[in-house]
Amino acid sequence: MATTDVGWIDAGTRPRPLVDRLHEWVTTVDHKRLGLLYVGYGLLFLVIGGIEATILRLQLVRPHNGFVSPQVFNQMFTMHGTTMIFFVAMPIVFGFANYLVPLMIGARDMAFPRLNAFSFWLTAFSGLFLYFSFVGGFGLYGAGTAPDVGWFAYAPLTAKTFSPGHSTDYWTLALLVSGFGSIGTAINIIATILSMRCPGMTLGKMPLLVWLNLVMAGLVILAVSPLTAAQIMLLVDRYLGGHFFDTQAGGSAVLWMHFFWVFGHPEVYVLVLPAFAFASEIIPVFSRKAMFGYPVMVAATVAIGFISMSVWAHHMFTVGMTAAGNTFFVLTTMAIAVPTGIKIFNWLATMWGGKIYFKAPMLFCIAFLFQFLVAGLTGVMMSSAPFDWQLGNSYFVVAHFHYVIVGGILFCIFAAFYYWYPKVTGRMYSETLAKAHFWLFVIGFHLTFDSMHVPGLLGMPRRIYTYEPGRGWDTWHLVTTIGVAFQAAGVLAFVFNLVRSYVRGRPAGSDPWDAWTLEWSTTSPPPEYNYASVPVVKSRRPLWDLKHPEDPDWKYE
Amino acid sequence: MSPTSIFAPLSTPAESIFELSILVLAIAAAIFVVVAALLVYSLVKFRRKRNDDGREPAQVYGSLQVELAWTITPVIIVLVLFLASARVVFAVQDAPRTKDSLEVTVVGHQFWWEYRYPGLKVVTANELHVPVGMRTFLNLLSADTDHSFWVPRLAGKTDLIPNHPNRMWIEPQETGLYLGQCAQYCGTQHAKMLLRVYVDSREDFDRWARQQAAAARDDGRVAEGRRMFEQTACINCHTVSGTAANGRFGPDLTHLMSRGTLGAGVASNTPENLRAWIRRPDDFKPGSLMPPMGLSESQLDAVTAYLSTLQ
């Protein structure tokens, strides 16, 4: 596997049986293995969620299409949204945090290795549990008893009256259990960062990735807890005669909305902060310059963390809040554009005056900058409450948040995959395949999600399984669906590249990018104990100091 | 031209939103052009050259002045956008009722719309009629799950939420038919919960209201069909004024034939469609809460003939 074999196993002994090696993966408490398990699990569900999206797109390719029934369509968009947020984005983000944070702070593992394993397996089982719903009822044909209440499951659709049987229970219990897993991992990340940094690494000298993941983990605790509480309340409603959300017994549908979005909006930042984290490591290295305005980037991140807790009701501009209430959430929502804008400008300033290398990780980051700019601006448009009375719950919203999640977050995740692939596997990926992936995905992304904005502007609400002709929506939907083929081809190139390079890629060495953070000072892949001796750092870029003893960073920080 | 474009407003609230949206769009477009141009410039200007000497570029760690500049500029832009938005929020939400404004109660059902005009003693379904050139206030209620009333050319959307009465208003300037549909996922047939709003001239509206307030026509020639209707489960869900039918679960049928469409806009209201709808509503709208009535061919003919007289 690795070029230099470091570890417990004597090179001479013959390979252990497969069962032993699998057993090792199941019982592991090593942060790197758990990180890989998280990421692999997320990738598996990415493909499943992608298949669901393809079914949705085929149904909408033309008006009055009959590819799937309305019931199946509703189950597909519910499962697609739930899967992509809870079983793709969160696990991948947690996986990278697990793998990278201890390495970047010079630690040998997370603070609580067994809590780490426990959290992963909770998430893993909740995903399997959710998908078991497909087997219930009439089985796969007719999509079983998969939930059909939408990924934000508004009350009272989830009440026993409107959702008899167990489909909603699968959704509730899966999110409840995965929520406990997320909270466990968040506690672990915070404890690790606060107490396991190597000598010399003060808070102000942590890599930006570590800072961003610290704020992300704090947000997880604040955001996922109310969601978990709401799931328990919903279960009480459904099985113990509670009336929190049961409107037919005097409960409140609006209460559920508040509970859900007080989770739902910070959740966006839970996902996007790690994406910012990847960009903040990759852009400096491929521009050959230190991150511009590190303290401001940290301050902006913390500001985003705080403000994101006060914007949730911008998802509720149409539910009949008072004018004063609506205005408050307009202000908080627009305010978050300021620290986010600062981040974009700082990345731009980092590239300014640098020497930009257009390798695959950087290409994905550059596309991210443009796409996230657009996503931010459509977000500002919808933060204006009156404009949102038209755009809210329309296809424009669907296009906007896919621009954030795919155009922003997924592009950064792809960048991170290519950037750290040599570190994780010890092998270089194929740059040609990576560039093919990039261009296919950029084309597919823009075909699909640029055109998706327009039907929203022309009055198309989201979550409809079919539509009337003659409203100017048809052509846009055709183009949207065509884009799916390009994206699928891109993902195929990506997966093929990962697999092929693992076997055939040329050895990467410990520092293929001539980078500056600690993880590049150990072997690729890192040994189980990460560092033979605990590193000591003097600046934010310890490897720069090492490579440029005549002009080290710590003189300027 | 799309009949549901948000950029073709013909009613006061939709117009206020439109004017604001143009301002917001212009500012967003300007920001995009400036930032994207800077990005493209730096990518071209600072790409690694072919004859690069391999030395690291000058390391710059930050600049307080520059950071301040790109913090203060967005703050000012945000303030402008906020004030412009707040003005429209208050103008639309706090619009006063006038003495002559019309009040309509809208009740969202899975998957159709009930309209009640308390002042005019009119109850109808799925096709809303309002007079041109004056304010109509819509009091929004729900009988079951969440719905949302969205006719883009008349106003922004407002949700219909059980136990949470809402209110919105429209003030259309031109007569005609305005289209829209339910904008909050409400169950299986959310997609076919279509909205049709007829904006009538004052005289047409008064004539329509008088006709709707009248009792159902009783035509002796279709007595057979009427008996059939009153003896089956139809009357548990539907109302025909002046008869035994007083259900409220489904649309009021007193003046069914004055409406242009069936099933909340899914099919035009022809005798053939009506007959096929009664036979199996799922053929038009799978998941509709009206069950197939299991009538024989002759019973279907009779009931269709009766309903066809309900002008």
| CATH number of the domain residue A206 falls in | 1.20.210.10
Residue A10 belongs to a domain: no
Q: Would you state the pLDDT for residue A531? A: 96
Residue A527's domain spans which residues? 18-555
Question: Residues B283-298: pLDDT tens digits?
Answer: 999 999 999 989 999 9
Distance from CA of B197 to the nearest CA of A (A): 15
- Confirm whether A314 is domain-assigned: yes
Report yes or no: B165 and B141 within 8 Å, Cβ to Cβ: yes
| Residue numbers of the domain that contains B229 | 220-307
Phi, psi of A243 (to 5 degrees): -130, 35
Mean pLDDT (whole number) for B257-274: 96
Three-state SS letters, chain B: CCCCCCCCCCEHHHHHHHHHHHHHHHHHHHHHHHHHHHHHHHHHHCECCCCCCCCCCCCCCCCHHHHHHHHHHHHHHHHHHHHHHHHHHHHHHCCCCCCCCEEEEEEEECCEEEEEECCCCEEEECEEEEECCCCEEEEEEECCCCEEECCCCCCCCEEEECCECEEEEECECCCEEEEEECCCCCCCCHHHCEEEEEEECHHHHHHHHHHHHCCCCCCHHHHHHHHHHHHCCHHHHCECCCCCCECCCCCCCCCHHHCCEECCCCEECCHHHHHHHHHCHHHCCCCCCCCCCCCCHHHHHHHHHHHCCCC
Number of Cβ pairs < 8 A linking chain A and chain B = 273
pLDDT confidence tier of residue A206, bands split at 50, 70 and 90: very high
In this complex, which of A341, A351, A356 lies closest to B70 when CB atoms are compared?
A341
Cis amide bond preceding B9, omega within 30: no
**Residue B43 CB: number of other CB atoms within 10 A?**
16
Helix (H) or strand (E) run with residue A40 in it = helix A31-59
The predicted-structure confidence for B138-181, as pLDDT tens digits, reads as follows: 999 999 999 999 999 999 999 999 999 999 999 999 999 999 99
Nearest to A523 by CA among A509, A503, A539, A543: A509
- The minimal CB distance from B60 to the residues A292, A331, A387 is found for A292
Evaluate whether residue A13 is within a structural domain. no
- Within a domain: A405: yes
Count of structural domains, chain A: 1
Q: Is the predicted pLDDT of residue A7 greater than 70, yes or no?
A: no
Taking residues B69-88, report their average pLDDT.
Answer: 96
Q: How far apart are the C-alpha atoms of A94 and A31, rounded to whole Å?
A: 11
* In the predicted structure, residue A12 carries a pLDDT above the cut 60: no
Main-chain dihedrals φ then ψ at residue A554, nearest 5 degrees: -65, -10
Q: Do B166 and A320 touch (CB under 8 A)?
A: yes
B55, part of any domain:
no
Do the domain assignments include residue A272? Answer: yes
B149 within a domain of the structure (yes/no): no
- Residue A140 has what pLDDT? 60
Q: Is residue A12 part of a domain?
A: no
ipTM, interface predicted TM-score of the complex: 0.96
Collect all residues of chain B within an 8 Å Cβ-Cβ radius of residue A334.
Answer: 78, 81-82
The CATH code of the domain that includes B231 is 2.60.40.420
pLDDT at B96 over 60: yes
The alpha carbon of residue A382 is apart from the nearest alpha carbon of chain B, in Å, by 9
Whether residue B31 lies inside any domain: the answer is no
Other Cβ atoms within 10 Å of A419 Cβ, number: 25
Of the pLDDT bands very low, low, confident and very high (cuts 50, 70, 90), residue A135 is confident
Q: Pick from B47, B72, B145, B147 the residue to mutate for testing the A interface (most A CBs within 10 Å).
A: B145
Cα–Cα distance list, A364 to A420, A492, A515, B3, B282 (Å): 14, 16, 18, 39, 47
For residue A188, which of A307, A38, A299 has the smallest C-alpha distance?
Answer: A38
Is residue B53, in this structure, part of any structural domain at all?
A: no
- pLDDT grade, residue B209 (50/70/90)? very high
For residue A17, the model assigns a pLDDT of 87
What's the CA gap between A291 and A169, in Å, rounded? Answer: 47
**Residue B69 pLDDT exceeds 50:** yes
Residue B262 lies in a domain: yes
Closest CB to A366: pick one of B43, B48, B286: B43
SS (H, E, C) A333-387: HHHCHHHHHHHHHHHHHHHCCCCECCCHHHHHHHHHHHHHHHHHHHHHHHHCHHH
Total number of residues shown for chain B: 311
Nearest to B28 among A154, A342, A381 (CB): A381
User: What tokens were used for A487?
Assistant: 């994206």
pLDDT tens-digit readout, A398-444: 999 999 999 999 999 999 999 999 999 999 999 999 999 999 999 99
Per-residue pLDDT averaged across B256-281, rounded?
Answer: 96
Please tell me the total count of domains within chain B. 1
Contact (CB<8Å) A377/B32 = yes
Q: What is the pLDDT of residue A141?
A: 60
- Give a yes or no: residue B247 inside a domain: yes
- Interchain proximity B166–A468, CB inside 8 Å: no
Q: Does residue B288 sit within a domain?
A: yes
**DSSP letter, residue A537:** -
Enclosing H/E stretch for A44: helix A31-59
Which tens digits make up the pLDDT trace of A433-484?
999 999 999 999 999 999 999 999 999 999 999 999 999 999 999 999 999 9
Res. A136: pLDDT tops 80? no
Residue of B nearest to A72 (CA): B188
Parallel/antiparallel/unpaired status of strands B166-170 and B136-142: antiparallel
Residue A1: inside a domain: no
pLDDT tens for each residue of A42-69: 999 999 999 999 999 999 999 999 999 9
Is residue A2 one of the residues assigned to a domain?
no
For residue B184, being part of any structural domain is answered with: no
What mean pLDDT comes out for the span A510-536?
96
